[in-house]
Chain A
Amino acid sequence: MGGGVRMLFQGILMDCFQKINQERTSSSVYNLLIGKKAIQTIQDARFYHIADYYGIYPGLAKDDYRIQLNQLIELDYLREDNEKKIQITKKGKSWLASCKTNLDGFAGAKYANVMETFKQRLLLFIQTITNTSKKQYLFIPISDNHEAEQFVKGFYKQYKQRSKEVLQQLYKELEKALSGLTDLEASMFVDRITSYYSYGSSLQQLSQDYQLSIQDCFLILQKGFYRLLRVQEHDNDYLMLKHFTKNLYISDTPLSQTAQHTLRLLQKKHSFKEIVQIRRLKANTIQDHLVEIAMHEMEFPFFDYLNSTIYEEIKEVVHSKQSYRLKEIKNNVNPDISYFQIRLALVLYNK
């Protein structure tokens, strides 16, 4: 148990719950994994240092998540209290320590906006170019995503005369990038690719071939894609791969549309009250936006809403109580300090 990539999914769950340390319910981790665009989720990702897992499993079914969780509870690795908050047990901690190294390699929050499109573009392009270079112009595309199709069409037009070169370069880059993974991870990644030579394996098939759970297979594939995204960003040897991120905006976490609107008003120097009036939204909602913006923007005017005494007081409680739980903090500071101020203070504290 614990070795290799087996139990990757469980490992990630355990890691999350250990870091959250009984401050959130079980659904918070589910929301994290599917990449829910809620302020609470984005904030959790930051505060608890689990942003790398943000959105790594968009299609995860709630039932499957619950099944895994229940298994871990049954094994006595985790415990669920009456408020549905999850606590990691001693047994769980030592189990987790034994498989720690395998959990690296994700960069969920960082590539949240990019991942799906990058994946679709790359896979569809490989299918297209390997088929056409064998004079096979008729094939059923692996993805019917409109955006990916348009992108691949344009890219293909540009390179169709040099398909051999393109394939060689692609091999060079994929080989180099995948070499940073284990053989098993690389092998699984290659099996998933659809090309002229073969139609890629389904998750079910990978699960059978590698004797791993479907979830673990999915996450291992994701790891492969995160690896590709990372190398193309940091290394100039990956010209082809870089191309597949064209026009995609890499940011740490997405700022919601509605918060962007508020941000624009803020940049025009409107006051909080004015923004509430202009947008005809509740003050609470605008506060949510401000917290979201505060997490994103390098220069957020924290001290328009806090003063240093308030900030210090909150910081003090976080230290003494070793907790980010809003309610707990609220109960231990001056009653005049609002939840909004506490949330902002926590953002600042984590910056």
Chain B
Amino acid sequence: MRIIHLEEALYRHFNYDFFRQGQKEIISDVLCGKDVLGVLPTGSGKSICYQLPAKLLDGITIVVSPLISLMIDQVKELKAAGFKDVIALNSFLPFMEQQRALNNLDSYRLIYVSPEWLQKRKHQNYLKQLPIKLFVVDEAHCISQWGHEFRPDYQRLHEVIEALNHPPVLALSATATPDVQTDIIHSLNKPDMKRHIYPMDRNNIAFCVEEVENDQEKLDRIVEMTKSYFIPVLIYFTSRQIAEETALSLSVKLPKRNIAYYHGGMEASERLRIQQQFMNNQIDIICCTSAFGMGINKSDIRLVVHYHLPLQIESYIQEVGRAGRDGESSVGVILYHKGDFRLSANMVKNELPSMEVIDRLITTILTCQSTQVDLPSPEQLHILLDINEGAARFIQRQLQKYGLIKDNEWFIDEKKWKQVRESIVQYLEKRQLYKNDKLNELYRWVQTGDCLRKTLYQPFQDGFGDPTDQCCSNCGFDWNKWVPESLFKIPEASSPINWRKKLQKVLNMEEV
């Protein structure tokens, strides 16, 4: 009788009529208390796999999620959808709010936490008091060093699971190769985990790679593509500045279209406005960085253009996967020129610190310690060094691993440093090699003459489903044959003089 019960529950709590592929199987096992690894393609509604159990289980569901912004978006959406007893806990929460939440944890059903937050003993003690019925590891590929978004804190999750007295575990990912899957199970220390692996290929997305001569041509191509299609479009950039500039140039060239940009450097409330306008079809084209899209449930994005490529295939699959969640024909376009590889290689390089930088840091700290000069705390080591966030995090983790940082305090002495330095050198080289390999893999794919669909999914699975529309530019893609339904009308020009009319609309007044 469980099946009928589940579908009813799905409708009652989330207003969906049916489960998507894999959801019901995973949820059934979760409700039976089994440990489950679920690999579902992007855009297939992974989160329902724990949100529905959270509603049905008689206790609390904890979700570990790697990205704070994603977590906050999800909580907002759940609340908007009527799921009120949910909260996101992370180190950015103002102190008072955090205290209020901690003292009332048992009033929530679903608690999102960041892995960093979870590492704190104090926080674990709060959680230990709760009846935890499900422990979810979202984006579980972050556990694996071979996953594209390796997060060392994820590797310590098995300790937390043990501290919480082994609640059932659900690990979810959209991009886990077979190697990564094995790594996840191993790292969580749950050898009997039940695997639910579903193919990740998206048969309603066609893939097009277009080589151009320079950035100007990229812009021209985007104008050409978007001029005739009145559909929701995402354009991905790796640089905030270029995303902004392109949005502005596009607005000039396409004055009747609503174009905006979106990136992590914008204020949260401004980002929310753009995101919601896109959902409401008030905006048709968004120039964004990878910060966009994580929590977005817009199902009718038709075209995803990559002005810049990400740094590995897995990220590409995730980003292009935001297209066509409703199953309708959609297209992913990659625009690239010869100079792009160098740009990407540079970004890869900056994601990790150089050994010179680490040495310099240690010397600085040793000097400061001997002269009793005040030091910034390890969490602020980017103040000492001019490096990016990822590189700073790498240094923190490594020093933590060898006990040179404990509880956000420095514990550095020369002798100890000499002992561990070589291990860090080796690990750094290993990570550099790995990241370069991933980048090369992506560019090999972009330049392949073979079917793009086949080669894209090859590392992850055997075979793929037949495309519902055209396949890819290597199999022959014809824009003339792609006719998605137009979603936007050309907006009527409004003049400031008509503000009263607008105000009437805004306040739901019938027009006088």
Chain B, range 248-296, C-beta contacts under 8 Å to A: 248, 251, 260-261, 266-267, 269-270, 272-274, 276-277, 280, 282
The answer to the question of B423 belonging to the interface, with a C-beta cut-off of 8 Å to chain A, is no
Given contacts A140-B80, A201-B273, A204-B270, contact A195 B508 (CB under 8 A): yes
Listed residue (A133, A188, A191) with the most chain B CB atoms within 10 angstroms of its CB: A191
Residues of B within 8 Å of A193, CB to CB, are 506
Given contacts A130-B508, A133-B508, contact A204 B499 (CB under 8 A): no
The answer to the question of B166 belonging to the interface, with a C-beta cut-off of 8 Å to chain A, is no
B260 in contact with A167 (CB, 8 Å):
no
Against B, the Cβ 8 Å flags (1 = close, 0 = not) of A171-208 are 10011001000011011111101111111111111001
B508 in contact with A140 (CB, 8 Å):
no
Given contacts A138-B81, A183-B496, contact A126 B282 (CB under 8 A): no
Measured in the bound complex, the distance between the Cα atoms of B502 and A187 in whole Å is: 8
Measured in the bound complex, the distance between the Cα atoms of B252 and A50 in whole Å is: 39
The answer to the question of A142 belonging to the interface, with a C-beta cut-off of 8 Å to chain B, is yes
Instruction: A171-B509, A178-B503 given; name 13 further pairs at CB < 8 Å.
Output: A126-B506, A130-B507, A140-B77, A167-B507, A167-B509, A184-B496, A187-B498, A187-B499, A187-B502, A194-B273, A199-B282, A204-B260, A205-B273
Residues of B within 8 Å of A191, CB to CB, are 502
Chain A, range 134-161, C-beta contacts under 8 Å to B: 134, 137-144, 146
Q: Is the interface of B mostly helix, strand, loop or mixed?
A: helix
Chain B, range 488-512, C-beta contacts under 8 Å to A: 496-500, 502-509
Against A, the Cβ 8 Å flags (1 = close, 0 = not) of B70-88 are 0000001100111000000
Q: Of A142, A146, A190, A198, which is within 8 A of B272 by CB?
A: A142
Residues of B within 8 Å of A184, CB to CB, are 496
Measured in the bound complex, the distance between the Cα atoms of B499 and A170 in whole Å is: 15
B499 in contact with A178 (CB, 8 Å):
yes
Please, how many residues of chain B have a CB less than 8 angstroms from a CB on the other chain? 34
Listed residue (B97, B503, B504) with the most chain A CB atoms within 10 angstroms of its CB: B503
Chain A, range 53-89, C-beta contacts under 8 Å to B: 59
Measured in the bound complex, the distance between the Cα atoms of B506 and A194 in whole Å is: 8
Q: What is the CB-to-nearest-CB distance from B488 to chain A, in angstroms, rounded to a whole number?
A: 14
B506 in contact with A199 (CB, 8 Å):
no
Q: List the interface of chain A (C-beta within 8 A of B).
A: 59, 126, 130, 133-134, 137-144, 146, 167-168, 170-171, 174-175, 178, 183-184, 186-191, 193-205, 208, 210
A197 in contact with B269 (CB, 8 Å):
no
Given contacts A138-B81, A183-B496, A187-B496, contact A199 B280 (CB under 8 A): yes
Residues of B within 8 Å of A175, CB to CB, are 500, 503
Listed residue (B272, B273, B499) with the most chain A CB atoms within 10 angstroms of its CB: B499
Q: List the interface of chain B (C-beta within 8 A of A).
A: 76-77, 80-82, 97, 248, 251, 260-261, 266-267, 269-270, 272-274, 276-277, 280, 282, 496-500, 502-509
Residues of A within 8 Å of B248, CB to CB, are 208
Listed residue (B260, B272, B280) with the most chain A CB atoms within 10 angstroms of its CB: B272
Q: Nearest residue in B to A137 (C-beta to C-beta)?
A: B82
Measured in the bound complex, the distance between the Cα atoms of B81 and A45 in whole Å is: 47
A130 in contact with B506 (CB, 8 Å):
yes
Residues of A within 8 Å of B97, CB to CB, are 146
A138 in contact with B272 (CB, 8 Å):
no
> 23 A-B pairs, CB-CB below 8 angstroms?
A130-B507, A137-B82, A138-B81, A140-B77, A140-B276, A141-B80, A167-B507, A171-B504, A186-B499, A187-B496, A194-B276, A195-B506, A197-B508, A198-B277, A198-B280, A198-B282, A198-B506, A203-B270, A204-B261, A204-B266, A204-B270, A205-B260, A208-B251
Q: Of A168, A187, A200, which is within 8 A of B273 by CB?
A: A200
Residues of A within 8 Å of B498, CB to CB, are 187
Q: Of B82, B267, B502, which is within 8 A of A138 by CB?
A: B82
A202 in contact with B260 (CB, 8 Å):
yes
B500 in contact with A196 (CB, 8 Å):
no
Instruction: Give the 6 A-B residue pairs with the shortest CB-CB distance, closest first.
Output: A187-B496, A187-B499, A199-B276, A202-B273, A183-B496, A195-B506
Given contacts A138-B81, A167-B509, A204-B270, contact A199 B503 (CB under 8 A): no
Listed residue (A126, A184, A186, A199) with the most chain B CB atoms within 10 angstroms of its CB: A199
Residues of A within 8 Å of B509, CB to CB, are 167-168, 171
Q: What is the CB-to-nearest-CB distance from B348 to chain A, in angstroms, rounded to a whole number?
A: 29
Residues of A within 8 Å of B280, CB to CB, are 198-199
Residues of B within 8 Å of A174, CB to CB, are 503, 507
Q: Of B266, B277, B497, which is within 8 A of A199 by CB?
A: B277
Measured in the bound complex, the distance between the Cα atoms of B248 and A144 in whole Å is: 30
Q: Nearest residue in B to A193 (C-beta to C-beta)?
A: B506
Residues of A within 8 Å of B497, CB to CB, are 183, 187
Q: What is the CB-to-nearest-CB distance from B501 to chain A, in angstroms, rounded to a whole number?
A: 9
